[in-house]
Structures are given as structure tokens and as C-alpha cells.
């Protein structure tokens, strides 16, 4: 018996297996598991919420198709494929770390998450509600974890870090892994420390169902961000997740944004953090497709 990996296309792993002179095709799909570690609202009473945002994105290998001729009884084969797929495809991306590192660490502990298994650490931007405990968290990572920062990230934070982890500064567009990308855009804020401008990077995962977009605060504008990504990839948007920065917007402004979401035929949205309760309610009422309401501890499988 022999096993050959023939091809991986987006989120599907094709494995060809020869047994008793017969050729079989086994298919495993790759899915996303998103755990919201830190958010303004609370879902799991065992955890603590706070102002800020952090989520863990895991790529999970789903089971084989029903035509699996081994029915998972061939332990050697199953073990071989599982080990191979974990090494190549299983990724754990920590996106931002919230506004209180003690709360984040407590939530991580209660959720039985091992920081040593994180493969990528992505910071959307340097504001405190996304980076508190920057140094302390990096010290807990394994050395193979790569850290991604947007251009013009706070130099004061960088000076405090003494790590052997690779740190990559992304000025515009970056392919960080198979079907995983970062897009950095220049934005404007009212904070004097930003000198009226800030760079923020967004995480994009290309799935078989469409693009899944993660935003920290969407300081560049949630609609311009989505349009830029849509133009670049020429693909449908399956999910938009994160802070939309609409807390201070008037209702008519939010409704106009929702209308543009509808025109772009976005399938699902999860407004978080700085999106604001008013925007969440308006999305639930006026968005044509699915709006999910989450809190700290929520888990979404895609």
C-alpha cells in the first residue's frame, strides 16, 4: 500500500491511496474554527469581557469523504495522513490580543488554549485595546511563531521586545501562508499620538466558499477595506468579522454602509468591539444575509 498527495486546492486536501491494486481518492476539507478570546461583550460566563478585540483562528482538517475504503480502521494509514495534514495545513493564528493582558491570559487558561501552539501572531494596529501586554505575550510564544506588524507600528513597543521570533513588517500586501493574506492600508484617526494617520492591516483567508476578512478597528473605513480586497481577489466575500468602527456613527450613516454590504452580496457579518450596539442592531434588522452576534467565549465554525 502507498499514499501520494496529489493536490491541494484552496481548503481541500486530495489524497490518492493504492490498496490491493485499486486506486482510491480520499478527500479531507479544511475548515476554520474562530474563538473570540477578548471582546466588549460576554458570551461564556466562565470568562471575562473587556474593551478590545482578540480572536484565535484555527484551520481544522475535517474527516474523509464517505467513500473512504478504510473506514478509519487502517490505523497506520490514518495516523500517516493525520500527521502529514497537521504539519502542512494546521495553523493557529492569534489576531490581536485585547486591552487587558491579565484578562486575556485568564480567558486563554479557562479555554485550555496553549500559546506555545500559535503559528502566527497578527496585530491589526498598535492601539492599546489591541496590544496590551505586547511584550508579555510574545515571551510566551514558541520560537517558530512568526509575528506580523503593520507598517509604522509603535516604535516604543518594538524597543521593549527582546525575542528570537521573526518579526515581519507589512507595508501593503503579504501572502503569509497558503491562502492566508494580510493587507495594510493607511487610515486616519482623531488621536494626536497617531499624528492623524495610522496603518492598519487586515487578515484575509481564501476559502472554497469565499473570502473571510478579519478587521481590528477598520480605521481605513470598513467599506473601502472590503472593496479593496474584493478588487484584489476578484472573489465573493463569505464573512466579514471584527471591529467596523461605527460606534459614533449616526443611524443613517450605518444604514448606508449596510446597503453597500448588501450591494456587494456579502454572505455573513460578525460586527465586534468598536462596531457598537446600535450598528449590531441595525445590521440584524437591515442586512440581507446573516448577522451573527458574538461575545467573549463565542466559537464560530466556518
Residue 271 CA to chain centroid, in angstroms?
A: 14
Dump pLDDT digits (tens) for 136-178.
999 999 999 999 999 999 999 999 998 999 999 999 999 999 8
- Looking at residue 24, what is its pLDDT? 58
Is-contact 186 199, C-beta < 8 A?
yes
Is-contact 39 296, C-beta < 8 A?
yes
Radius of gyration of the chain (CA): 20
**Span 278-286, average pLDDT:** 97
Place of cell 469565499: 210
User: How far is the C-alpha of 46 from the C-alpha of 109, rounded, in Å?
Assistant: 11
- Looking at residue 39, what is its pLDDT? 98
- Looking at residue 4, what is its pLDDT? 45
Residue 65 CA to chain centroid, in angstroms?
A: 26
Tell me: pLDDT of 87 over 60: no
* Choice between 300 and 72, residue whose per-residue pLDDT is larger: 300
* Fold of domain 2-301: Metallo-beta-lactamase; Chain A (3.60.15)
Q: Are strands 180-187 and 198-207 parallel, antiparallel or unpaired?
A: antiparallel
- Looking at residue 184, what is its pLDDT? 98
Q: Are strands 237-243 and 210-215 parallel, antiparallel or unpaired?
A: parallel
Per DSSP, what are the bridge partners of residue 136?
Answer: none
Dump pLDDT digits (tens) for 4-52.
444 455 555 566 656 566 655 555 567 899 999 999 999 999 999 999 9
With CA atoms as reference, report the closest residue to 142 among 122, 114, 183, 110: 114
Place of cell 466579514: 240
- Looking at residue 56, the DSSP 8-state letter turns out to be E
User: How far is the C-alpha of 108 from the C-alpha of 296, rounded, in Å?
Assistant: 11
Tell me: pLDDT of 98 over 80: yes
Dump pLDDT digits (tens) for 208-239.
899 999 999 999 999 999 999 999 999 999 99
How high does pLDDT run on average in the chain?
Answer: 87
CA distances for 29 relative to 6, 8, 214, angstroms: 14, 10, 21
Residue 291 CA to chain centroid, in angstroms?
A: 17
* Choice between 28 and 86, residue whose per-residue pLDDT is larger: 28
pTM across the whole model: 0.86
- Lowest mean pLDDT segment, chosen from 117-126, 149-158, 254-263: 149-158
Is-contact 209 215, C-beta < 8 A?
no
- Looking at residue 5, what is its pLDDT? 45
Tell me: pLDDT of 202 over 70: yes
Tell me: pLDDT of 190 over 90: no
**Span 263-283, average pLDDT:** 97
In the chain, domain spans: 2-301
User: How far is the C-alpha of 129 from the C-alpha of 178, rounded, in Å?
Assistant: 29
- Looking at residue 15, what is its pLDDT? 60
Return the percentage of the chain with pLDDT > 70, whole number. Answer: 78
Amino acid at each position: 500500500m502507498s499514499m501520494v498527495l496529489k493536490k491541494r486546492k484552496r481548503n481541500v486536501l486530495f489524497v490518492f491511496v493504492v490498496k490491493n491494486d485499486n486506486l482510491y481518492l480520499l478527500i479531507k476539507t479544511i475548515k476554520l474554527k474562530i474563538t473570540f478570546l477578548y471582546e466588549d461583550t460576554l458570551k461564556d460566563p466562565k470568562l471575562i469581557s473587556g474593551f478590545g478585540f482578540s480572536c484565535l483562528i484555527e484551520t481544522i482538517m475535517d474527516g474523509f469523504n464517505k467513500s473512504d475504503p478504510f473506514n478509519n480502521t487502517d490505523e497506520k494509514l490514518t495516523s500517516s495522513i493525520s500527521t502529514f495534514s497537521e504539519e502542512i495545513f494546521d495553523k493557529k493564528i492569534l489576531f490581536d490580543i485585547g486591552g487587558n493582558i491579565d484578562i486575556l491570559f485568564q480567558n486563554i487558561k479557562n479555554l485550555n488554549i496553549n500559546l506555545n501552539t500559535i503559528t502566527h501572531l497578527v496585530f491589526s494596529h498598535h492601539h492599546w485595546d489591541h496590544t496590551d501586554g505586547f511584550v508579555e505575550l510574545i515571551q510566551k510564544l514558541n520560537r517558530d511563531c512568526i509575528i506580523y506588524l503593520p507598517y509604522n507600528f509603535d516604535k516604543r513597543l518594538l524597543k521593549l521586545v527582546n525575542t528570537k521570533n521573526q518579526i515581519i513588517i507589512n507595508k501593503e500586501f503579504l501572502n503569509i501562508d497558503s491562502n492566508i493574506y494580510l493587507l495594510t492600508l493607511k487610515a486616519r484617526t482623531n488621536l494626536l499620538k497617531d499624528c492623524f494617520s495610522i496603518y492598519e492591516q487586515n487578515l484575509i483567508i481564501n476559502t472554497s466558499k469565499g473570502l473571510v476578512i478579519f478587521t481590528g478597528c477598520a480605521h481605513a473605513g470598513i467599506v473601502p477595506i472590503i472593496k479593496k480586497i474584493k478588487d484584489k481577489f476578484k472573489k465573493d466575500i463569505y464573512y466579514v468579522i471584527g471591529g467596523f468602527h461605527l460606534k459614533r456613527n449616526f443611524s443613517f450613516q450605518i444604514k448606508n454602509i449596510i446597503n453597500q454590504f448588501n450591494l456587494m452580496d456579502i454572505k455573513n457579518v460578525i460586527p465586534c468591539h468598536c462596531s457598537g450596539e446600535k450598528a449590531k442592531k441595525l445590521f440584524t434588522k437591515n442586512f440581507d444575509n446573516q448577522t451573527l452576534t458574538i461575545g467573549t467565549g463565542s466559537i464560530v465554525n466556518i
